[in-house]
């Protein structure tokens, strides 16, 4: 039996992440979803992780809404898409918030 390659395991992980994000975003925006999250999902399924992360960086403000409606999506992106990185789209805001609390 042939062993699964690292890239196949990675793609399987990103497909599962895409499914999770799709489930979370489908119920938002009166059932229309969140366009930038849909774009991230598409890139994850294509295996283009760099583009998925670029969209998260570019459109993080749309996911970081004031009412916290997309808080669950944001948590998943931070924990699972940016899991191996020190910086993520919301890290600057988190640092500023911590400094303001001091």
The DSSP result for the chain, as a single string, is -PPPPHHHHHHHHHHHHHHHHHHHHHTSTTTT--HHHHHHHHHHHHT-HHHHHHHHHHTHHHHS-TT-TTHHHHHHIIIIISTT-S--TTHHHHHHHHHHH-
Model confidence, pTM: 0.84
Mean pLDDT along residues 48-71: 87
Residue 34 has pLDDT above 50, yes or no: yes
Residue 79 domain flag: yes
Domain coverage including residue 85: 6-101
Reported confidence tier of residue 67, pLDDT bands at 50, 70, 90? low
Q: What is the pLDDT of residue 1?
A: 47
Residue 77 domain flag: yes
Residue 21 has pLDDT above 60, yes or no: yes
Residue 1 domain flag: no
Mean pLDDT along residues 50-59: 95
Structural domain total, the chain: 1
Residue 11 has pLDDT above 90, yes or no: yes
């Amino acid at each position: 039996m042939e062993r699964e390659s690292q890239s196949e395991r990675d793609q399987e992980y990103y497909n599962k992440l895409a499914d999770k994000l799709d489930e979370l975003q489908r119920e938002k925006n009166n059932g229309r979803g969140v366009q930038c999250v849909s774009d991230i999902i598409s890139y994850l399924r294509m295996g283009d992780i760099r583009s998925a992360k670029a969209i998260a960086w570019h459109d993080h403000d749309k996911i970081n809404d004031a009412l916290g409606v997309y808080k669950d999506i944001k948590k998943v992106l931070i924990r699972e898409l940016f899991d191996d990185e020190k910086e993520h789209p919301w890290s600057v805001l988190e640092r500023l918030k911590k400094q303001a609390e001091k």
